[in-house]
């Protein structure tokens, strides 16, 4: 690499550090002035989520792909640890129905065919689009031009789904089931820990069977505060910090972290601006959705947290000296981003959420639909992995480094 290229890259990273920092400050002040302190804090939590996702390379998509293809389970085990801490924090609060005197409610949704179909579609989209919901946001913030395409069609797919979502929701289904309400906090915790342990043990078994030993966490050239600012962080750090930030979201918002509802709102607002009356659709006549459509994005918690995630990832990428957008996207990869984005958006609405709202926050809430999502999304990922060579013919497995895509 020439000296000119190094200097240009350093200059670009320095500029983007200041851009990210200033936008985070402006967003925080704006949220405080327009909405209030809680909204400002939730925006900052979004920034912390983005920084954590980027520095820990906490990608659900890549973790599943690496296990499916290479039987490397480090990412999946990190997810099980993350979920273990999450239920330990969430279940007592949800069982009590309040935190610090404020009411809280989990992401508990129906157990239905729409969840199974939506999660399966979403799983395929994860591998073709190159990321999950959180992965798409933080890689966009980190400078991935291709993931901008995925994000655009993610939003479009979400909007298309809202045009006829009632048909899907009327397919055979059961009422929402919470294991916290059904069994009590302690039995629900024990049951969850057993399932997490079984999944983690299965990844150990298959990884040792294929490779003879478990994958070692890669070392960083930085230590102490430098590592905190520049990364990379160990996956375990990422999982634990994500859980604490999700719990902070529960405290401030009264419900867990979610991502994809905002993407439907963004697309709907653009459609309204273009003259499409989406407010006549059943989905947008529901009180919460109608309010999100009518109000500015400053008032939408999920939107503000999503903006924070992208800015936090931008800051993290810039501090690491890795913010370098590349607009040279191969044609097949571009097609995969379009198809994957549509599947992600459409599937997320059918399944009452994504890898965050349905999987992470759903299981943390004790919702059976979260476990159903996991099973069918994993199946979809297996199909998506089989399809990837069509769109990424020169892709080589890199199990030693998990990334958002």
Query: Residue 404 domain-assigned?
Result: no
**In this predicted structure, what is the pLDDT of residue 252?**
97
Mean local confidence (pLDDT), 115-143: 95
First to last CA, the chain: 25
CA atoms within 13 A of residue 104's CA, in its CB half-sphere = 28
Query: Residue 401 domain-assigned?
Result: no
Tokens of 236: 């375990």
111 strand-pairing partners: 174
Query: Residue 68 domain-assigned?
Result: yes
**In this predicted structure, what is the pLDDT of residue 77?**
96
**In this predicted structure, what is the pLDDT of residue 8?**
45
98 strand-pairing partners: 103
pLDDT at 259 over 90: yes
Mean local confidence (pLDDT), 104-130: 97
Phi/psi of residue 331, nearest 5 degrees: -60, -45
Tokens of 138: 């933080």
**In this predicted structure, what is the pLDDT of residue 339?**
98
**In this predicted structure, what is the pLDDT of residue 2?**
46
**In this predicted structure, what is the pLDDT of residue 12?**
59
Query: Residue 26 domain-assigned?
Result: yes
Q: What is the DSSP-derived secondary structure letter of residue 404?
A: -
Tokens of 55: 């520095």
Report CA 33 to chain centroid distance, whole Å: 28
Query: Residue 24 domain-assigned?
Result: yes
Contacts of 399 (CB under 8 A, 6+ apart): 66, 70, 72, 215
The answer to whether the CB of 404 falls within 8 A of the CB of 345 is no
The answer to whether the CB of 16 falls within 8 A of the CB of 323 is yes
**In this predicted structure, what is the pLDDT of residue 403?**
40
Query: Residue 309 domain-assigned?
Result: yes
CA atoms within 13 A of residue 44's CA, in its CB half-sphere = 15
How do residues 84-114 score in pLDDT, each as one tens digit? 999 999 999 999 999 988 999 999 999 999 9
Closest by Cα among 361, 170, 179, 329 to 260: 361
Helices (H) then strands (E): counts for the chain:
18, 4
Closest by Cα among 26, 403, 358 to 176: 358
Query: Residue 399 domain-assigned?
Result: no
Q: In the chain, pLDDT over 90 holds for what percent of residues? A: 83
Closest by Cα among 88, 137, 135 to 247: 88
Domain of 26?
A: 3-391
Domain count, the chain: 1
Query: Residue 400 domain-assigned?
Result: no
How do residues 55-65 score in pLDDT, each as one tens digit? 998 889 999 99
Contacts of 355 (CB under 8 A, 6+ apart): 60, 122, 126, 132, 133, 134, 135, 377
Any idea which of 179-183, 209-213, 228-232, 294-298 has the lowest mean pLDDT? 228-232
pLDDT at 66 over 70: yes
**In this predicted structure, what is the pLDDT of residue 298?**
98
**In this predicted structure, what is the pLDDT of residue 41?**
98
Burial letters 117-139, b for 16+ CB under 10 A, else e: bbbbbbbbbbbbbbbbbbbbbbb
Q: What is the DSSP-derived secondary structure letter of residue 98?
A: E
Any idea which of 28-42, 67-81, 142-156, 209-223 has the lowest mean pLDDT? 209-223
Q: How confident is the model at residue 223 (pLDDT cuts 50, 70, 90)?
A: confident
103 strand-pairing partners: 98
Average pLDDT, the chain: 92
- Tell me if residue 178 falls in helix, strand or coil: strand
């Amino acid at each position: 690499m020439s000296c000119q290229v190094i200097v240009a890259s350093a200059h670009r990273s320095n500029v983007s550090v200041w851009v990210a920092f200033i936008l985070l400050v402006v967003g925080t002040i704006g949220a405080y002035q327009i909405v209030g302190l809680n909204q400002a804090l939730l925006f900052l939590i979004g920034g912390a989520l983005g920084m954590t996702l980027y520095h820990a390379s906490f990608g659900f998509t890549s973790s599943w792909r690496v296990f499916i293809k290479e039987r490397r389970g480090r990412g999946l085990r990190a997810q099980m640890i993350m979920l273990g801490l999450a239920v330990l924090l969430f279940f007592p609060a949800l069982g009590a129905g309040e935190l610090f005197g404020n009411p809280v409610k989990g992401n508990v949704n129906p157990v239905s065919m729409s969840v199974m179909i939506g999660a399966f579609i979403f799983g395929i989209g994860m591998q073709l689009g190159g990321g999950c919901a959180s992965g798409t946001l933080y890689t966009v913030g980190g400078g991935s031009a291709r993931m901008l395409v995925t994000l655009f069609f993610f939003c479009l797919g979400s909007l298309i789904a809202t045009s006829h979502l009632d048909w899907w929701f009327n397919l055979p289904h059961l009422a929402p089931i919470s294991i916290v309400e059904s069994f009590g906090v302690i039995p629900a915790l024990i049951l969850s820990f057993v399932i997490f342990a079984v999944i983690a043990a299965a990844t150990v078994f298959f990884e040792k069977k294929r490779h003879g030993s478990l994958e070692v966490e890669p070392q960083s050239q930085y230590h102490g505060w430098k590592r905190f600012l520049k990364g990379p962080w160990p996956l375990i750090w990422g999982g634990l910090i994500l859980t604490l930030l999700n719990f902070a979201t529960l405290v401030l918002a009264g419900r867990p972290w979610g991502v994809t509802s905002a993407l439907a709102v963004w697309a709907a607002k653009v459609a309204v601006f273009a003259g499409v009356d989406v407010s006549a659709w059943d989905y947008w006549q529901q009180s919460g959705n109608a309010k999100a459509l009518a109000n500015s994005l400053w008032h939408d918690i999920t939107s503000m947290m999503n903006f924070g995630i992208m800015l936090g990832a931008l800051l993290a990428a810039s501090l690491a000296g890795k913010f370098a957008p590349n607009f040279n996207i191969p044609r097949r990869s571009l097609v995969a981003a379009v198809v994957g984005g549509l599947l992600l958006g459409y599937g997320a609405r059918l399944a009452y959420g994504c890898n965050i709202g349905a999987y992470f926050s759903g299981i943390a809430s004790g919702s059976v639909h979260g476990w159903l999502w996991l099973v069918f999304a994993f199946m979809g990922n297996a199909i998506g992995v089989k399809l990837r060579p069509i769109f990424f013919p020169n892709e080589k497995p890199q199990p030693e480094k998990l990334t958002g895509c």
